[in-house]
Amino acid sequence: MYSIDNKQYPCSTSLTMRYIGGKWKAVILIHLIEKKRYSELRKECKVITERTLSLHLKEMEADGLITRTVHTSKPPLKVDYELTQFGKTLIPVLKAIAEWGKDTAENNDRISFVK
């Protein structure tokens, strides 16, 4: 049994899911394997609303998975996000997830491509 910030996780699997679970965190993280500006990230994740994207970025920054760097002092701002050393330890997991999705899509009749 593990505990972070007074929340409990019964096993190592549930611990990992607290970092990358939810609908979008893994998706955002995989896009941040390469450092990226906020606007680029938004373009690549059009289906995620700005509010959700922004909240997730803050959470993952607080979790120590990513860093946020501001390069200007006045608007227009230039901000980029990248994985921390800790965040980078997730890369093999994220790649396994992405790969399974790809392989599954190719071999499962219930899944179709659109657009």
Partner DNA sequence: CAGTATCCTCACAGATACTG
Partner DNA sequence: CAGTATCTGTGAGGATACTG
Indicate the DSSP class of residue 77: P
- Using CB under 7 A, pick the residue from 19, 20, 56, 94 that binds DNA: 56
The nearest distance, CB 32 to DNA, in angstroms, is 12
- Cis before 92? omega within 30: no
Cβ proximity of 51 and 42 under 8 Å: no
The nearest distance, CB 89 to DNA, in angstroms, is 22
9 is a contact residue toward DNA (CB under 7 A): no
- Using CB under 7 A, pick the residue from 35, 58, 88, 95 that binds DNA: 58
Cβ proximity of 1 and 10 under 8 Å: yes
Cβ proximity of 42 and 50 under 8 Å: yes
What DSSP element (H or E) covers 80? Answer: strand 79-83
Q: Which is nearer to DNA, 50 or 103 (CB)?
A: 50
Q: Which is nearer to DNA, 82 or 98 (CB)?
A: 82
- Residue 38 interface partner, choices DNA, a second copy, none, CB cut-off 5-8 Å depending on type: DNA
